Structure 1
Amino acid sequence: MSDISITHEGHVATIVIDRPPHNYFDVELIRDIASALEHIDEDVNLRSVVLAAEGKSFCAGANFTQPKTQPSGASGALHLYEEALRIFACKKPIVAAVQGPAIGGGLGLALTADFRIACAETRFAANFTRIGFHPGFGLTVTLPELVGCNNAELLFYTSRRIDGQEALKLGLANELVALDQVRTRATALAHEIAECSPLGLLTTRATMRAGLVDRIRAATRHELAVQDRLKTTNDFAEGVKSSAERRSGNFIGK
């Protein structure tokens, strides 16, 4: 697990992603996070988790200029979304310390957490349609459940990037603090959660998230099938190119 670190303090575990500056993910990184969470589940002394990141971004999703980082192959045993399902299946509350951009699949990773602490510098974006792509990482389930269907549609259809203040209004962020206080406040919230009875926490969270893994599994199968098809299009190639060149895409619908 060379790109994450895990520490414990009292009843709280902290997982830190360490691929600065943007913490792009691949199958291995998501698998390592899932494995860390499963180990935390097995430790009866640990009751809550902080998920944080080093660098400018919390997680900028997949780096589409490097094809090996992209989710692909619906039948692949190590497919990224199969590893993401393991994160959703973990049992203990997670507080994400989102100190910077959470973009695309990085937004999906942030929404695996129960709560998000953000700052003015935080940016959230489901920017898939801007690159000729389709949402993934279970966002077609998690985003509308968090902000409402119509707000999710607005974020999907425009691919707009919103700051921490707007995220707080929409419910994407639970609290807004200064940049240098994001991880501190996330840790404080995790400790507040960990003061409660572990059996009460586990059973209540299981009730609140009942059926979530099954919904995410169905959603990611559909998301992946559409993503694999769109990757073969001219518009996707143009979307990746225009994004790298920081310009609007010249899309043709093919």
Structure 2
Amino acid sequence: MKFKDILFETQGRVAILTLNMPETRNVITNANTIQEIEEVCRMINNDIDVRVLIITGADPAFSAGGNVKEMAKKEGMFAGSPSKLMEGYRKNVQRIPMAIHGLEVPTIAAVNGPAIGAGCDLALMCDMRVASTKAKFGETFLNVGIIPGDGGAYFLPRAVGMAKACEITFTGDIIDGQSAMDMGMVNYVVEHDQLMEKARELADKIACKPPEALRMAKRLLYMGQYLTLPHLLEQSAAFQALCHNTNDHMEALNAMFEKRKPDFKGE
């Protein structure tokens, strides 16, 4: 499928979504961009052969987040009365966290440059983050007199804890990749020219797992953030019963006994 604002490709079991609007530093508040991100997420959820998604940006930025020129002119999703603006957020940029969070496969943000405002939140929507030495992170909404309108208040505390989330949000400070890793926001920091290699290394390690169990494991981890322990155990038992009855489970056991690499088919 041909896209306008993004590049999308699959390399074996790994899919790569690249925000491809370097002239705007990959802002994500345009209607077409949002629609294309949603479409990719739908495609991946319907394709058992895709096991991991990497999200990155065309240099020099990962994403500048919202289109501040449109904000200043009160155009696009930033136009109209307060009630219109509220609907603008709900019907536009807030569709991105719903789509990314709804992905059934593990996601990795390969942060190649500044990830600012909604761009920072886009990275946080992913399950894991690999940052280049050129990466910068900023929850900078208060610096321009607004609040995180795209889910940052949900994702940031889950990544770094409430105290650090408050500090990052209230100060609007921009932090580098190493500082982000020190506080648990980022999994790895690598040289810029090694970013995609490291992201692929992590993706490939995950992509070799049985795809149905992998998707269930992801769902279970996120359920664990809001379910009580008894409810989580009940859900775990149900998922485990399904896993025990897959061909991939038997393939894993046979491969272990036969001392070979398993070949998982999602069956």
TM-score range, shorter chain: 0.7 to 0.9
Q: Return the offset for 1:74.
A: 2.7
Question: Matches of 2:186 and 2:127 in 1, distance apart?
Answer: 10
Question: SS of 2:206's equivalent?
Answer: helix
Question: SS of 1:14's equivalent?
Answer: strand
Q: Which residue of 2 aligns with 1:38?
A: 42
Q: Return the offset for 1:136.
A: 2.1
Question: Matches of 2:132 and 2:213 in 1, distance apart?
Answer: 31
For residues 9-88 of structure 1, what are the structure 2 equivalents within 5 Å?
A: 9-21=11-23, 22-26=25-29, 27-67=31-71, 68=75, 70=77, 73-76=85-88, 78-88=91-101
Q: Return the offset for 1:95.
A: 0.8
Question: Matches of 2:97 and 2:86 in 1, distance apart?
Answer: 14
Question: Matches of 2:167 and 2:135 in 1, distance apart?
Answer: 19
Question: Matches of 1:136 and 1:83 in 2, distance apart?
Answer: 11
Question: Matches of 2:217 and 2:5 in 1, distance apart?
Answer: 32
Q: Which residue of 2 aligns with 1:115?
A: 128
Contact 2:64 2:117 in 1 (8 A): yes
Question: Matches of 1:79 and 1:15 in 2, distance apart?
Answer: 19
Residue 178 of structure 2 corresponds to residue 165 of structure 1: yes
> For 1:80-114, what per-residue CA distance to the aligned partner results, in whole angstroms no more than 9, with x for missing partners?
21343122111111111101000000011111111
Residue 156 of structure 2 corresponds to residue 130 of structure 1: no
Residue 202 of structure 2 corresponds to residue 189 of structure 1: yes
Residue 91 of structure 2 corresponds to residue 89 of structure 1: no
Question: SS of 1:75's equivalent?
Answer: helix
Aligned pairs, number: 213
> For 1:1-58, what per-residue CA distance to the aligned partner results, in whole angstroms no more than 9, with x for missing partners?
2011111111111111100041111232122112102101111111111111112110
Q: Could you list the structure 1 runs, at least 4 aligned residues long, displaced by more than 4 angstroms after superposition.
A: 69-72
Contact 2:28 2:93 in 1 (8 A): no
Question: Matches of 1:99 and 1:79 in 2, distance apart?
Answer: 25
**TM-score for both structures, normalised by structure 1:** 0.79
Question: Matches of 1:57 and 1:138 in 2, distance apart?
Answer: 21
Residue 4 of structure 2 corresponds to residue 2 of structure 1: yes
Contact 2:34 2:95 in 1 (8 A): no
Task: Give structure 2 stretches of 5+ with no counterpart.
Answer: 79-83, 227-267
Contact 2:121 2:151 in 1 (8 A): yes
Flag the structure with larger Rg: 2
Higher relative contact order (CA 8 A, sep 6+): 1
* Aligned-residue identity in percent: 30
Root mean square deviation of aligned Cα = 1.8
> For 1:157-192, what per-residue CA distance to the aligned partner results, in whole angstroms no more than 9, with x for missing partners?
100000011011011110010001111211121111
Question: Matches of 1:158 and 1:101 in 2, distance apart?
Answer: 17
Amino acid at match of 2:170: Y
Q: Which residue of 1 aligns with 2:119?
A: 106
> For 1:106-157, what per-residue CA distance to the aligned partner results, in whole angstroms no more than 9, with x for missing partners?
0111111111110221100001111111112111111011101000000011
Contact 2:181 2:187 in 1 (8 A): yes
- Decide which structure has greater helix share: 2
Task: Give structure 1 stretches of 5+ with no counterpart.
Answer: 214-254
